[in-house]
Amino acid sequence: MSTLNASFVQNMAIVHPEYFFIIGLSGIPYSSYYYIFLFITYFIAVIMNSIVLLIIALERSLHSPKYIGVFNLALADLGETNALIPNMMKTFFSDSQYISYNACLANMFFVNFFITLQSVTLVVLAIDRFIAICLPLRYHALLNNTVMSLVFLVVWAFNTSLVALSTSLMTRLSICKSNVVQSYYCGYGPVLRLACNDNSIYIFITNLIAALFLVAPLCIIVLSYMGIFFALSKITTWEARLKALKTCVSHLMLVGIYFLPVICIYIASSITSLTPNARVISISLSFTLPPMLNPIIYVLNTAEIRVLIRKVLKKRIVPIRNISK
């Protein structure tokens, strides 16, 4: 009975604010120009990722394991961009930096879901390149459209379950220190710091998610490329090595764009104490620039997509020339 009473008292002690106040950038005179820059990145990201999705969906020659991965990455980029930037624009251009408690949790779920999906997709693409270069004769036996589709089905289910669990556990936090979120969106860390009850289990889960979706993926990607470089060292001619390596350039650039900013922010935070504004700018750039750059990199560095775009442009230009004559 005493245990029941203790549980009841604990539940009664949980306090949830009606609203959170998203602080964003404060005390910077021309911060509106930064938000305009973010809106431009949003516009480019939406257009470019939509183009990549349409090209892969409509062109049958791109219905292959690699491009199922690229399609999934573009989908994750589009999801993350829409989960993050429109809310920022609404919050800061409407001069209303308040967000309801439930909207904050929804924002937390979607942003973290799509960020983790990007990370895992980069791992799957690294494994795809590893098999293609190290086990070329077994590539189609190990990876086909069905296998890759099932892999991403499992990835989506796993990510959804873990991020939903971590977000739902946040409802067990009693938010009574403050309702001011020292960030530009409802992230785990900024909200955890507002809790006044024991949050050790939540910190553990946050660190676990960071390990699962940042540290582990980076380690797997590094190991994959160590295997790739070892396989390339066995190729006798430099021309063949470069030809095989060129198929990895786009992916390596995506990995660098995704992981390097996060690593740099972590190192900077360890060496010196970042101001709230510096933290907001650095983290927001690390989250908003990759979705804009990823499709551009794939369009510019992928011969198949470039050829398709040229064909479409030629079909459009030739009728216009005929009409003008």
Q: If you average pLDDT over residues 66-79, what whole number do you get?
A: 93
CA 39/CA 45 separation, integer angstroms? 10
pLDDT digits (tens, 9 = 90+) for 268-290: 777 777 777 788 888 888 888 99
Q: What local confidence, expressed as pLDDT, does residue 227 receive?
A: 93
Closest by alpha carbon to 34, among 243, 280, 222? 280
Distance CA 236, CA 141 (A): 26
Q: Which amino acid is at 261?
A: P
Q: What is the mean pLDDT of the chain?
A: 83
Residue 114 has pLDDT above 80, yes or no: yes
Six-digit token pair at 33?
Answer: 């120009």
Q: What angle do CA 146, 147, 152 make, to 5 degrees?
A: 100
- What pLDDT was estimated at residue 3? 41
SS3 193: coil
DSSP for residue 16: -
Confidence at residue 166, expressed as pLDDT on a 0 to 100 scale: 87
Angle at 273 between CA 28 and CA 257, to 5 degrees: 80
Q: Where are the alpha helices (DSSP H) in the chain?
A: 2-13, 31-58, 65-93, 101-134, 139-142, 145-169, 188-192, 200-210, 216-233, 238-271, 276-301, 303-324
Separation CA 59–CA 124 (nearest Å): 22
Residue 175 has pLDDT above 50, yes or no: yes
Task: Give the C-alpha distances (Å, rounded to integers) separating 32 from 62, 64, 90, 95.
Answer: 41, 43, 12, 11
Q: Which of 78-82, 158-162, 191-195 has the lowest mean pLDDT?
A: 191-195
Enter the tokens of residue 17.
């604010």
By C-alpha distance, which of 289, 284, 282, 216 is closest to 258? 289
User: Where do the domains of the chain lie, and which CATH numbers do they carry?
Assistant: 16-317 (1.20.1070.10)
Helices 101-134 & 238-271, crossing angle to 10 degrees?
Answer: 150
pLDDT at 52 over 70: yes
